[in-house]
Amino acid sequence: MFDEMNGDDGARPPYCGVAHWLDTLGLATLDGKRREAETLFRRSGITFAVYGEGGDPERLIPFDLIPRVFGRDEWQRLAAGIVQRARALNAFLWDVYHRGEILRAGVVPEALVYRNRAFLPEMVGFDPPGRIYAHIVGIDLVRTGPGEFRVLEDNCRTPSGVSYMLENREIMMRMFPELFAGNRVEPVDGYADQLRATLEDMAPRHGPRAPVCVVLTPGPFNAAYYEHSYLADQMGAELVEARDLFVDDGALWMKTTRGPTRVDVVYRRIDDEFLDPLVFRPDSYLGVAGLMDVYRAGRVTLVSAPGAGVADDKAVYCYVPEMIRFYLGEAPVLENVPTWQCALPEHRDHVLTHLDELVVKEVHGSGGYGMLIGPRASAAERAEFARKIAHDPAAFIAQPTLSLSTVPTLTPRGIASRHVDFRPFCLVGRQIRLTPGGLTRVALREGSLVVNSSQGGGVKDTWVLSE
Amino acid sequence: MQLAIRHRTRYRYDPAVAAVGVRLKLYPPTFAAQHPVAWTVAVNGVAVAPGFRDGWGDQVATHFVRGEVAAVEIEAAGVVDTRDEAGVVRGLREAVRPGMCLRATPRTEADSAIAALAREALEDGGTQLQQAHRLQDLVTARIAYRAGHTDGATTAPVALASGAGVCQDHAHVVIAAARSLGWPARYVAGYCLHAEDGGDDVATHAWAELWLDGIGWVGFDASNDLCPTDAYVRLCAGLDAFDAAPIRGHVEGAGAEALDVRVAIHPAGAEQ
């Protein structure tokens, strides 16, 4: 098991500053600071749910004070891999909604894409601005050794959690200014401006005035509402619900006290099927009638593009390294986790005979639900999954149980190692912008590998050192 | 042949509603078998031009009527030159790939009876084209044409089991059966001069198109047990009747809706 801070002979270099700080501070002070941080979070009102996790929107996610740190070289390699992946995923999306060269070449099975429920025939033949579909790519990474990073999954729709990246840093800087004075930590607070620049990049028309960008939310009952309002506020964009928008004269308009204002870009935090009751679900009250046709006529931009989800399906995930070779002609910088697709008979046989070693996931599942962690499961649970897999093999994939890296974490019984993952946020506009940082999730239960906030996960500030 | 068409759809709202949005796929595309000579679409007397062409090759328009809306009348009318191409669709400007037309929709999910029907179509061997004709014959024989027996939400398995239905049901069963064989299939809405669903309540017609290796898309109309001829005008396509609806509406407000549809189709110069 790889601990990111504690090496064989003392603290690993990126963590020297943090290790020293912990030693100086002492456990009692740290615990007092933890309570103080919790009060600050409560006062800021931040509540949170990672995409698709559901759960109680009012719940506060535990924040761990001990930062997770990447050295400059570590980050440079990660960044190259993240950007490469974001480029390949967008190239794939453009291709499958046009001639489908990667399918014709037999590199990715046609049925996996065309019969995927996230694939939208409504998008076929359309060119979104810049040929970009996934403008905010959240890539979930795990670490298994000093130089070993693996991609767990891609999020091409509306990955959430970035507000935690920003708030965690803000609170850490407020509470421990001396810590940041002594360590060269890359700032993350440029994210909102970069998101705004990415949205503006994508405006269908460029006139003398700045494009009008809005954040479209399902409303306060959505688990990520806090994030929607936070990002809108940070960007200086309007936070709108469906009732604030309407389509007329081939354009999208926002109702304001000064009359209708034409909207150029919609950062939508509602799912595809709710976007437009005239095209998708007729019973949707979250979307705007006529929105899709204004989009397809090239008179408003939707971020992310409808149908972008076909690239982040857990079965399509298996082919991302092939996409990188196919579209970019490059070797993948970041590896996938080896994955067995239960849809393939020989893979299925392997999975069924090795259930006690594997993690089995539902292709369309998320949030750590509908998942079997073989080594931890009871015989009955494994038998249950064997039945499910036999019944609908294409709905499942399996991966080896990885030994995730650990980072020191404050627990009720002192500082202890806990497993972590990592979600950086890559912005794709006319240029690619990657904030040096991201969201580190930590499994607070001893030995647990499930970092999801709905299942006992917490978060940490993530540092990228500039030297 | 030249066909003159007048297709009027009237929605009435009581009480009046705040707004009605309509999405129209009412523009017959040009391809080898047809060419619109003159064609207009109007909503409450206002001409509506299409905003874009979708992946199926169909032009799409969206239009809103706002403020105390008691009625919305949509009229599509014009003259279309047609040619008998034996149902083969050549020269249509479309981007949808055949493989996309293998996915089942809630209305076209095959059950065991539909899968069995599909296998029956293969029994006599022959070419894929012959098998497709056999499938059409089987659906014509198993589902009697009877209006009012099914509705817009009827699924293919229900239609086959009930043994009666209209053009939509015939098309759905042909599509579900074809896809169960791994043949791409799609739903087409349009008009037909000799549609068996004639009479005063005539609406639009519908049929299926199957992708046949070496030929391409070919229309199969199990309601008439016929491949489309020059008596047919093709309006738009989709994965099923819901997807290929020539008109979709969205109402803001809560008035009771009444619908009236009239389609008049004649050889040009023979208008009544």
pLDDT tens profile B94-106: 999 999 999 999 9
CA distances from B160 to B132, B170, B220 (A): 17, 8, 17
Neighbours of B271 (CB within 10 A): 9
> Tokens in use for A250?
């081939």
> Tokens in use for A311?
């690239």
Domain-terminating residue out of A400, A423, A439: A400
Closest chain B CA to residue A119:
B100
Q: What angle do CA A325, A70, A406 make, to 5 degrees?
A: 95
What value of ipTM does the predicted structure carry?
Answer: 0.93
What's the total number of domains in chain B? 2
- B68 and B103, same domain (yes or no): no
Q: Which helix (H) or strand (E) holds A96?
A: helix A72-96
Closest chain B CA to residue A298:
B52
Cβ <8 Å between B51 and A124: no
Mutation site, A112, A280, A296, interface B, largest B CB count within 10 A: A296
> Residues of A at the B interface (Cβ-Cβ below 8 Å)?
98, 100, 103, 110-111, 114-115, 119, 121-126, 247-248, 250, 277-279, 282, 289-290, 293-294, 296-298
- B122 and B208, same domain (yes or no): yes
DSSP B118-179: HHHHHTT---HHHHHHHHHHHHHHHSEE-TTSS-TT--HHHHHHHTEE-HHHHHHHHHHHHH
The span from the CA of A396 to the CA of A315, in Å, is 8
B156 within 8 A of B100, measured Cβ to Cβ: no
The partner residue sitting opposite B23, judged by closest CB among A115, A126, A293, is A293
**Is the pLDDT at A52 greater than 80, yes or no?**
no
- Asked whether residue A176 is assigned to any structural domain, the reply reads yes
- B181 and B213, same domain (yes or no): yes
The domain containing residue B43 runs over which residues? 2-82+247-267
Question: What CATH number is given to the structural domain containing B45?
Answer: 2.60.40.2250
- A189 and A246, same domain (yes or no): yes
Partners of B64 on chain A (C-beta within 8 Å) are: 247-248, 289-290
- Asked whether residue A201 is assigned to any structural domain, the reply reads yes
- B40 and B111, same domain (yes or no): no
Given the structure tokens 């027996």, which residue do they identify?
A: B149
> Tokens in use for A378?
């009871």
Cβ <8 Å between A124 and B100: yes
The span from the CA of A428 to the CA of A425, in Å, is 10
- Asked whether residue B113 is assigned to any structural domain, the reply reads yes
The pLDDT assigned to B194 comes to 73
Cβ <8 Å between B21 and A126: no
A189-244: pLDDT as tens digits? 999 999 999 999 999 977 788 899 999 999 988 888 989 999 999 999 999 999 99
Calculate the CA dihedral of residues B114, B115, B116, B117 and round it to 10 degrees.
Answer: 50
Partners of B243 on chain A (C-beta within 8 Å) are: 121
- Asked whether residue A1 is assigned to any structural domain, the reply reads no
The domain containing residue A299 runs over which residues? 6-332+403-464
The pLDDT assigned to A96 comes to 98
- A352 and A207, same domain (yes or no): no
**Is the pLDDT at A169 greater than 80, yes or no?**
yes
- B107 and B165, same domain (yes or no): yes
Closest chain A CA to residue B98:
A114
When pLDDT is averaged across residues A374-389 and rounded to a whole number, the result is 92
- B150 and B218, same domain (yes or no): yes
B171-223: pLDDT as tens digits? 999 999 999 999 999 999 999 997 554 444 466 899 999 999 999 999 999 99
The pLDDT assigned to A48 comes to 56
- A225 and A290, same domain (yes or no): yes
The partner residue sitting opposite A125, judged by closest CB among B95, B243, B252, is B95
The pLDDT assigned to A347 comes to 94
The pLDDT assigned to B201 comes to 46
The partner residue sitting opposite A114, judged by closest CB among B56, B64, B97, is B97
